[in-house]
A and B are shown apart, each in its own frame.
Chain A
Amino acid sequence: MEAVKLTDVWVIIDRKVVLEGVNFWVEEGDFVGIIGPNGAGKTTLLRVILGLIEPARGSVWVYGFPPEKGRRFLGYVPQQGTFNKDFPLKVFDVVLMGRLRGKGPFRGFSRQDREQVEEILRSLEIHHLKDRLISTLSGGELQRVLIARALASEAKVLLLDEPTSNVDIPFETEFFELLQSLRKEKGLTILLVTHDVGVLSQHVEKIACLNRRLYYHGTKEIRPEELEAVYGCPVDLIAHGVPHRVLKDHT
């Protein structure tokens, strides 16, 4: 089943074409990474899937529903810096926000909500941080808190925006292992976008390239000419000491 499906999606912001005829799909259980340079429209693509931006043309489906309805299946892990990191909130309260759906005014969180949050914090090994203010967390810890919040909303698909940009390199592998285990244990579908080609190729199972246009074959294959089209110049895929990892696997 297709968890996410985009057909010929065009997005125009301030008279500029940001996404151009994007066709893209994510199967249930997939682990897909989208790479592209800064300003390629990666965040916009996620926002389109979340229904925060309406495409000028084309259609978006989340589990067969339009995004406004389908987004209840989505968990969003925004790029750090899009929210107020200095906000005087504790980890527990931030994760609890994932349980806001259907609460309505004048109704607090139930005991069940709190227990669920405790359990998620434990499963992500950040339970000991629950009373810490988020402003005191490291990049990696905060990343886990945001994932916990996304999981608290009972998401089936995780959308992550530049998840490794604030995580120290030694923790990157650990971070991807966490995503893999979430995928296996909870049956999650994962879609992430990043400009970091090196990290991605080693950990995800399918790769798409985006720079206004999207190149995707439902596999891990990227053709050199597509990568060149995306980055605007020949890209040397020597990254993190793994020469030609992406190309070697498929050509």
Chain B
Amino acid sequence: MSIFEYQFVKNALLVALFVSWASALIGPLVVTRRMVFLTGGIAHAAFGGIGLGVFLGVDPFKAALIFTTLSAFATGLSLNKLRVSEDSAIGILWALGMALGAMLIALKPGYRGDLMGYLFGNILMVTEGELWLIGALVIALSFISLGFWKEIIAVSFDPEFCPIVGINPRIYNTLFLVLTAVSCIVMMRAIGIILVIALLTIPVLVANHFTKDLKKLMLLSGIFGFCFITAGMAFSFVMNVPSGAITVIFAGSVFLALHVLESLFSPEERY
């Protein structure tokens, strides 16, 4: 009996497809806009949503989706208005989300759910219901990104110029943060809150070795993302280790290996 006949393997492969799709859509912009840590902050805020879900006795996944989207929305609107620097704001968002989650879960004694699964991900444990919700989110993400793509690109490249052609940078920067938040939630079950930024960055950096064009970068980083996740699944299955962690370790190794190879073969580019 081949392993593809197991339902959980089929589910996990579908999740891998959805997750790499979301990371291809959002990752290249997160990297080029240098907002990896802002994304990390948003992802960690999701833990507050998990805690809220546990505390209120509702599905933590859905609670995290709503909580994180609202956090991203609030962050986007207030980022330029706060009298603190962006990295301080990220630090606060990051720690506050985690603290809120930890406290709310502690207030609900006897919770036996899969907390480690949310923090570090476990693609082999994704339920049918979660799978379809993830799929629906990826389709919504694609639809909205496509519709507002030229505006998102414009505010990412040169927000100063945008008002002159009638585009409000604050609105579209906030929209992009919300889309980023949704993609973090899409990835949460597969890779975990703590490791989300790895999947948004490493495939992009690897793809960056082969192309500098945005469209090709998106396509290639999606392919690399899918390969990393499926390889991680296989390692996890065979070696009986956590899938999220092994995925990130594998992806990071590929990135490092490529870097070393490149510096060996083009020494003139070293500086």
Contacts and interface: CB of A to CB of B under 8 A. Distances in A.
Interface string A182-215: 0000000000000000000000000000000000
A51 interface: yes
Given A87-B156, A135-B212, A153 B32 contact: no
B164 A76 contact: yes
B166 A90 contact: no
A44 to B, nearest CB: 13
Contact of A88 (B147, B164, B212): B212
Contacts of B217: 88
A170 interface: no
Interface in B164-206: 164-167
Nearest to A93: B153
A135 B32 CA distance: 12
Contact of B150 (A103, A135, A149): A103
Contacts of B150: 97, 100, 103, 108-109
A105 interface: yes
Contacts of A76: 160-161, 164
A89 interface: yes
Most buried by A among B147, B156, B162, B163: B163
Contacts of B164: 50, 71-72, 74-76, 153
A94 B214 CA distance: 13
Contacts of A90: 213
A236 interface: no
A83 B147 contact: no
Interface residues of A, number: 34
Interface in A37-77: 50-52, 71-72, 74-76
Contact of B166 (A82, A102, A105, A149): A102
B212 A94 contact: no
Interface of A is mostly: loop
Interface string B201-241: 00000000000111001000000000000000000000000
Count class of interface residues, chain B: 20 to 34
Given A76-B160, A84-B32, A135-B212, A153 B153 contact: no
B147 to A, nearest CB: 4
Given A50-B164, A88-B212, A105 B157 contact: no
Contacts of A75: 164
B243 to A, nearest CB: 31
A86 interface: yes
Contacts of A93: 153
A105 to B, nearest CB: 5
A100 B160 contact: no
Given A52-B160, A84-B32, A84-B157, A98 B165 contact: yes
A149 B214 contact: no
Contact of A83 (B28, B161, B163, B213): B161
Contact of A84 (B33, B147, B162): B33
A153 B146 CA distance: 23
8 contacts: A52-B160, A71-B164, A78-B160, A83-B161, A84-B33, A87-B32, A100-B150, A102-B166
Interface of A: 50-52, 71-72, 74-76, 78, 82-84, 86-90, 93-94, 97-103, 105-106, 108-109, 133, 135, 149, 153
The 7 closest A-B pairs by CB, nearest first: A83-B158, A100-B165, A106-B147, A88-B214, A101-B165, A105-B147, A87-B157
Given A87-B157, A106-B148, 4 more contacts: A52-B163, A87-B156, A88-B213, A97-B154
Interface of B: 28, 32-33, 146-148, 150-151, 153-154, 156-158, 160-167, 212-214, 217
